[in-house]
Amino acid sequence: MIRVASPFIGRAERRAVMRVLKSGQLSQGVEVAEFEKEFSQLVSGSECVAVNSGTSALHIALLAAGIGPGDEVIVPSFSFAATANAVCLTGATPVFGDIDSAFFNLDPAHTETLITNKTKAIMPVHLYGHPADLTALQRIADNHDLLLFEDAAQAVGATWHNFPVGTFGVASAFSFYPTKNMTTGEGGLIATSDSSVARNSRLLRNQGMEERYRNEIVGLNNRMTEIQAAIGRIQLKRLRDWLDRRQDNANYLSTNLRNVLVPQTAPNAVHAWHQYTIQLVDLNRERFVNELTQRGIGFGIYYPIPIHQLPSFNLHLDLPITRQVAARCISLPVHPRLKRWELDQIIQTVNSLAGVGA
């Protein structure tokens, strides 16, 4: 089976873990501090606060900026549930917007129609690693005196108009889940240029205290471990090479795939290629993916059910592009460990299935 994702943990990561274990300092020490400092270089020097998951990063960033009960936050419905869950966990209400048909991201035009006197923020997702239209969304936020957050969980290394994702708006959230472009096993990170949001985030992740036993606010226990941070520091050194390989793999797939809609990249964007997502037109997806499985090609469907239709929300909304893409998207392997023969096998299999009307 050619896997749809293949996280890499090498000898350097194992040595880093052993170094931490031998030190006896397993939580919130020098490794976390250094990881935050090193990651900051990817986001133009923004302050970074490492936490235990991408969901915690979203949740804490929202809380740290003052989002709470009575507020509405506009989010895409075509995303992982964590995007909306984080809003709900603050006591605020997620308001679901439709996506654009080209890049799978929150549609600015539809977003503007959703603004009410309760709207406090807009939180786009850089889905699959392609930046949302941050220019248009920031303009809308500014015009309506709203906060802009970035769900950059899938987009480490992506850029918009030559600026890294994670440097727009009040705060952004990254994820280091095992399938992401880099991993800490589990883990997440908040990036912000707002010093008060950064300090609030540090308080919230650590039971509301910076100084031990002097709890300033009611907080959480969402700290990143030293082991996670040590792995992350090694992964950061590999990231540039991995991103280049993902780009090469995506270009090779797009050049050679036929009879399916291949993903696009905006002229002013650099895609991080967390996922390579095609769309099937006039093809039966269930039969298609069954054949992929039979022929040893891994795949993912991200996401078959829009968030607003999940049992946890169960809303009846008219989001036509979301509905269309959710019904016909398939993500193919694009990770940096793929060999050329594996890419050729993916291409031959997909073209064969698409050509015979699978």
pLDDT digits (tens, 9 = 90+) for 167-181: 999 999 999 999 999
Domains of the chain with bracketed CATH:
11-234 (3.40.640.10), 238-355 (3.90.1150.10)
Evaluate if residue 49 carries a pLDDT over 80: yes
In contact, 80 and 303? CB cutoff 8 Å: yes
**Pair 123, 149: CB distance under 8 Å:** yes
Per-residue confidence band for 28, with pLDDT thresholds at 50, 70 and 90: confident
Query: What average pLDDT does range 70-89 have in this prediction?
Result: 98
CA angle 219/221/224 to nearest 5° reads: 130
The predicted pLDDT at position 51 comes to 98
Helix axes 285-294, 340-355, angle to 10 degrees: 140
Please state the rounded mean pLDDT for residues 292-302: 98
Q: What is the pLDDT of residue 57?
A: 98
Burial of 256 (0-12, 13-18, 19+ CB in 10 A): middle
What is the reported pLDDT for 358? 44
Q: Which pair of tokens denotes residue 159?
A: 């850029």
Average of pLDDT values for 312-327? 98
Task: Read off the pLDDT of residues 92-139 as tens digits, 9 standing for 90 and up.
Answer: 999 999 999 999 999 999 999 999 999 999 999 999 999 999 999 999
Q: How many helices (H) and strands (E) does the chain have?
A: 11, 12
Model confidence at 83: pLDDT above 50: yes
What pLDDT, in 10s, does the model give residues 223-257?
A: 999 999 999 999 999 999 999 999 999 999 999 99
Give the integer Cα–Cα distance in Å for 243 and 102: 22
Mean pLDDT in residue range 287-316:
98
Q: Which two three-digit tokens encode residue 222?
A: 């969402």
Confidence of residue 356 (pLDDT cuts 50, 70, 90): low
* CA atoms of 172 and 105, how far apart (whole Å): 16
